[in-house]
Amino acid sequence: MNDERAMQQQPGRTPAPPHLKDGPGPGSPEAAALDATWRDPPGLLGWLAAVNHKAIARRFIVTTFCFFVAGGLLAFVMRLQLARPGARLVGPDLYNQLFTMHGSTMMFLFAVPVMQAVAVYLLPLMLGTRSVAFPRLNAFAYWIFLFGGLMLYAVFALGAAPDVGWFSYVPLAGPDYSPGKRTDFWAQMITFTELSALLEAIVVITTVFKLRAPGMALNRIPLFAWAMLVTAFMVLFAMPAVMLASTTLITDRLVGTHFYNPAEGGDAVLWQHLFWFFGHPEVYLIFLPGLGFLSAIIPTFARRPIFGYTAMVLALIATAFLAFGLWVHHMFAVNLPELGKSFFTAASMLIAIPSAVQIFCWIATLCSGRIDFKTPLLFALGFFFILVLGGLTGIMLASVPLDLQVHDSYFVVAHLHYVLIGGAVFPLFGAFYYWYPKITGRLMSERLGRWNFWLFFVGFNVTFFPMHLLGLRGMPRRVYTYQAGLGWDTLNLVATLGSWVIALSALLFVVNALRSLRRGAPAGPNPWGAGTLEWATESPPPPCNFHAIPVVHGRDPLWEPPRTAADGGQPPFTHVGGLAAHTRELLATTVLDARPDLRVNFPDPTIWPLVSALAVTVLFIGSIFTPWAVVWGSIPIAIALTAWFWPRRAETAVHLRLEQGP
């Protein structure tokens, strides 16, 4: 691609096309003007009105990590209860609330949102642009997520938390067996969080497709961007199923419909089909971003480009397709046709192939490189061991006869945690250590990081490996106590001791992160010597991310060789010039080849996404108590959205000046 010629081929009414030039320096007047333009307003009102993707992503990350700690504390209490037979730390009702809140927190308030939060921070930096698409929608998605999580924990504090499991099976969750409002709050929490996830998916897809730097064709984007793009498309297809399921559940409970009532022509198994059509892809909604983290970390510390880029991309896409054909994997104990079960057994085994392709590509990258064993890479290597073991037990559970024997036992609990923590939390910790210097400008302590890794690795295996044996010895899930002499005592005690080690590791991570904010070594723009674009700007990045939009010539722009001796060993960057500095103007590019397409003016910060989220929250919570809340609650939402999209005279004047040109 001829970048200079491409930059001059701008369609539409843009009179002054951007041109290639060297970017302005950080201290130049143009850079100062860009920073002032893209910076969120000061003060409390400015904080509430913020739309900068980095600010929203930091709030998302901190909020999801707080929910992670809360969910971990709930699990810790459960382990204390089960450490000895006949314990009376908590009663059966509170225990039901604990395991429901723990599962709901980890699956809906932590695992998927934190992956999307990291993507919202990193993708514009990786793709060489100044913002995510739809920045106000991004802010709205955060507020909706926050209010949904706070609602769930508020009812938990009031003793009215849901108590029917994080999958809320009917008829147990129906009006006959679960009176009161507990399940209704759970169903509305689903609506909150899945609405937020759908909005973030729209933001991610549009950002990856239309806001890439010129020259960054689809075969040049980082594998992390591919992973998040595939995940976002999965969200669009998976989340509506669980939103439909939770909505029909709440109408059964509050309005008197009979979607899941067999006596009136409904079907209780319909709930399982709808829920697990979302539930099994959700495992990969958590897993695929983790693979993207590893595909960023491993090449950096192997000091070589990723092996098998095309195979890695195809493996991500194949995993997404196969993930939607596995949901009956969770329903082998249901009275379904045996021939149908055999097809899902085959699909459950087949999905291991694309995952294996990626693992072999990472191993090839490491074997052909010069490995630097830093903390992020340690968590990546820990992922290999944990995920392979979890994958092996997944292949075992794909066998219908074995699944029937261990269904709803602690063997399934062990498998679930090996897959989810191995496939998500280990890569996530590695990602925190890897990108922490980019977010804060300081490095985390390497010594504390190694302690964090080894304590977490050992504590995890001590906690969850004995659960395989407990399941094979017949210990069922979701029991709050057990009798002595069943052969479960020692294994439960060992698992509880392991949970103490995990808690110590998590505490050490928090100490390391907070300590490094002030006392960490200054990072510089690229402390790891990585090759992707997020390391081409300052640490932490300026409000506009890049003072000049770079033009990309390869998959690893910072590792591209210099074109002339005058480059002085620096990457051969050319930059896009001609974009306005006094307004939030961005360059949109074509989907396939990232050729310059349009100049887009982005909206300024506003309080209306927050106001709209509050109005939606009132409607959702009010509908738990009366269906009329849907009618009357629509009025403030309409007012808030009208104010949100109402054009401001100053912004309109800027748009007209840009269209008319100089």
* pLDDT, tens digit, 9 for 90 and up, residues 328-383: 988 998 988 888 888 898 988 899 899 899 999 999 999 998 999 999 999 999 99
To the nearest whole percent, how much of the chain has pLDDT over 90?
A: 69
Question: pLDDT value at position 4?
Answer: 33
Q: 30-39, 149-158, 315-324, 447-456 — which is least confidently predicted? A: 30-39
Query: What phi, psi does 601 have (nearest 5°)?
Result: -95, 120
Model confidence at 647: pLDDT above 90: no
> Average pLDDT of 112-137?
95
Average pLDDT over residues 109-135: 95
Q: Enumerate the H helices of 50-181 as residue ranges.
A: 53-82, 92-104, 112-127, 135-157
Q: What would the pLDDT profile of 516-552 be if each residue is shown by its tens digit? A: 998 989 988 899 999 999 999 998 999 999 988 899 8
Kindly report the number of other CB atoms within 10 A of residue 270's CB atom: 15
Q: 268-292, pLDDT tens digit by residue?
A: 999 999 999 999 899 899 999 999 9
Span 449-499, pLDDT tens digits: 999 999 999 999 999 999 999 999 999 999 999 999 898 999 999 999 999
656 pLDDT higher than 80? no
Q: Judge whether residue 12 has pLDDT over 60.
A: no
C-alpha 593/C-alpha 599 separation (Å) is 17
Mean pLDDT of 213-234: 95
Predicted pLDDT at 19: 42
Note the pLDDT of residue 24: 61
Contact 248, 259 (CB under 8 A): yes
Tokens encoding 420: 């989810």
Q: Distances from the Cα of 621 to the Cαs of 88, 189, 226, 241, 479, in angstroms?
A: 34, 9, 36, 21, 31
By the 8 A CB rule, do 328 and 276 touch?
Answer: yes
Model confidence at 31: pLDDT above 90: no
Token pair, residue 563, equals 């074109």
Q: What is the pLDDT of residue 2?
A: 36
> Can you give the pLDDT at residue 576?
72
Is the per-residue pLDDT at 657 higher than 90? no
**Using 50, 70 and 90 to split pLDDT, how confident is the model at 659?**
low
Window from 17-21, 91-95, 251-255, 603-607 with minimum mean pLDDT: 17-21
What pLDDT digit, counting tens, does each position of 388-436 carry? Answer: 888 889 889 988 999 999 999 999 999 999 998 888 899 999 999 999 9
Q: What is the pTM of this model?
A: 0.91
Lowest-confidence pick of 4-8, 87-91, 532-536: 4-8
Query: What is the mean pLDDT of the segment spanning 107-124?
Result: 95
In the predicted model, what is the mean pLDDT of residues 605-634?
94
Q: Which of 64-78, 294-308, 336-350, 644-658 has the lowest mean pLDDT?
A: 644-658
In this prediction, residue 569 has a pLDDT band, given cuts at 50, 70 and 90, of very low
CB neighbour class for 436 (10 Å; exposed up to 12, middle 13-18, buried from 19): buried
Report pLDDT for 8: 34
Q: What was the pLDDT predicted at 644?
A: 92
Confidence class of residue 3 from pLDDT cuts 50, 70 and 90?
Answer: very low
pLDDT at position 13 over 50:
no
- The DSSP H or E segment spanning 375 is helix 375-397
Does 627 score more than 90 pLDDT? no
CB of 104 closer than 8 Å to CB of 193: no
**What's the confidence (pLDDT) of residue 573?**
56
Question: Average pLDDT, whole number, for the chain?
Answer: 89
Question: Where exactly are the structural domains of the chain?
Answer: 1-33+47-258+533-662
Residue 122 vs residues 219, 293, 364, 399, 608: alpha-carbon distances, Å: 19, 11, 26, 40, 25
